[in-house]
Structure 1
Amino acid sequence: MRIRAATSTLLLIDIQTRLFPALEDGDALLVHSHWLLQIAQRLQVPSLLTEQYSKGLGPTLPILREAHAAERIVEKLHFSAVTEGELLQRSGGEREQFVVCGAEAHVCVLQTVLDLLALGRRVFVVVEAVASRQASDKALALTRMQQAGAVLVSREMVAFEWLDKAGDERFREISQGFLR
């Protein structure tokens, strides 16, 4: 099954200011998540972001947060973004496919992915755009998500599947700006 721009939503989970410094390879998480967000915006793929207890973990990093209106940000206390029900009620939350980035892979990302799968959604986890404090936790989380039915992908796989074809203005813009 391919990722389709018309049926997917980019979900950015808990990439927050106070958690970020503790993440293993957090810089890669931010770079790859921002890259995907920019492509999603250009291709009109909706994006949602979540914040886990922002009083404690701070807001989402500004470069990601500034691209989202307040109605596209889901504050949560449960680790799963699905548990409290708000995520799926937001514009974009009704879509069949979710492309997932975020932190921590073995906690909020994992529980959200498992709950989305249980609801029959198709979930694609961008391997280079998820992180945990420990590399071993990320590896175990990726294995568990894949065993549960999530598809592990790279950011370029997502971009090319969203594009679907070459030879038009959208492809030229993405190719020149992002695929060098």
Structure 2
Amino acid sequence: MFTSRVVGRANQKTTAFFLCDIQEKFRSHIYQFPAVVATAQKMIAAHKILDIPLIVTEQNPRALGITAPELDLSQAKMNLPKTKFSMFIPEVEKELKSNNIKSVVLFGIESHVCVLQTALDLLENNYDVHVLADGVSSMNSYEIQHALKRIETAGGYVTTSESILFQLLRDSNHEKFKLMSKLIKETKEATASNKLMQPAASKI
């Protein structure tokens, strides 16, 4: 009997973007923080173009501050404070279920704490998880590779911002293809200079 292979293909209509704790007080402590912000800006622009829900959290904002101000959250579906490390809090879980979300594109900080625990919670609850290698970081750069490997081992998918955006489009006949192509071109320089994509040995 033929059994279809599970490949974790993201679908525009059943995908949500998760922006995890990219907060102001982390700015001087996170490895390649500007690169994380640049990727988040690209994904925020994409969420507006593709009408994909954006869910944002802030870890203990009284202590760690609000999300970096250069990130435009004006059209975010949710922007919630939390104390739990994982973004998979009751309000978020309810939102995902009510909107028939099947897959999540995850980016933010820290890779080995909030990003990892969010990914594990989502996977445990049968969501496909796509973590952006060019959009996650930690205070200690060596933590990144280990966190991504752990997520892959658990069944998550490690990908890049550009790859997932074209996956969501699927076809050059997509009505938003030209707008997305323009976004990719506008962010080309930031994408090319993103040191989070370099081999782990160079992250020192």
Fold shared, TM-score > 0.5 on shorter chain: yes
For 1:85, which of 60, 83, 90 is the aligned residue?
90
For 1:24, which of 27, 31, 45 is the aligned residue?
31
For 2:18, which of 6, 11, 15 is the aligned residue?
11
For 2:59, which of 32, 39, 52 is the aligned residue?
52
Per-residue deviation, 1:67: 2.7
Q: Confirm or deny that 1:135 pairs with 2:141.
A: yes
Unaligned runs of 5+ in 1: none
For 1:114, which of 114, 117, 120 is the aligned residue?
120
CA distance in 2, matches of 1:121, 1:168: 25
For 2:168, which of 162, 165, 170 is the aligned residue?
162
Per-residue deviation, 1:168: 4.5
CA distance in 1, matches of 2:99, 2:41: 20
SS of alignment partner, residue 90 of structure 1: helix
Larger CA Rg, structure 1 vs 2:
2
CA distance in 2, matches of 1:177, 1:148: 32
Per-residue deviation, 1:63: 2.6
Letter of the 1:54 partner, please give it.
Answer: P
CA distance in 2, matches of 1:65, 1:173: 18
SS of alignment partner, residue 11 of structure 1: strand
For 1:66, which of 73, 85, 89 is the aligned residue?
73
- Aligned CA RMSD, in angstroms, stands at 1.7
Q: How many residues align?
A: 178
For 1:35, which of 42, 62, 69 is the aligned residue?
42
Per-residue deviation, 1:20: 2.3
Contact 1:88 1:94 in 2 (8 A): no
Task: State the TM-score, normalized to the length of structure 1.
Answer: 0.92
Per-residue deviation, 1:127: 0.5
CA distance in 1, matches of 2:47, 2:184: 12
Unaligned runs of 5+ in 2: 1-6, 189-204
Contact 1:81 1:112 in 2 (8 A): yes
Per-residue deviation, 1:104: 0.3
Contact 1:7 1:95 in 2 (8 A): yes
Report the CA distance shift for 1:177/1:115 in structure 2 as closer, same or farther (over 3 A): closer
Identity value in percent: 29
